[in-house]
Amino acid sequence: MKEFLNKTMKMHDGGDTKKVKKFFSMFPLVTKLIADTLGDKPFHLRGPLNVSALDSVMTVVFENYDKITSDDLYNGFNNLTSSDEFLRLTQLGTTDTKTMQERITFVRSFLLGQ
């Protein structure tokens, strides 16, 4: 993971790539949709902020911003957070590449029905 992050940071260190520009323009829209739809502290699953829940939901919403409605997000997230499998995927080994991919795929299935 550390190697991936270092390579990615080096690739985008000037901050002027298409990917960086898209991120900066989309980030406020994605966070507003999530905050307006899910309310305060939606990623506090078992107490403090659960970064694994945050990163997977943010990733799916970011990648599908033009497809996801607030109703899809609200209903999908509520079903997602009551899932034992999602709780497992956000508890142990959360930075393992396989677990991250599995978690994002799982979130995608709840929020987009894919």
In the prediction, which pLDDT does 27 show?
A: 96
Percent of the chain with pLDDT over 70: 96
Percent of the chain with pLDDT over 90: 66
Calpha distance 22→15 (Å, rounded): 11
Q: Per-10-residue mean pLDDT for the chain, 114 residues long?
A: 72 79 94 96 92 95 96 96 93 82 95 83
Calpha distance 72→113 (Å, rounded): 9
User: Which pair of structure tokens corresponds to residue 49?
Assistant: 């902020």
Domains of the chain, residue spans: 2-112
Question: pTM for this structure?
Answer: 0.86
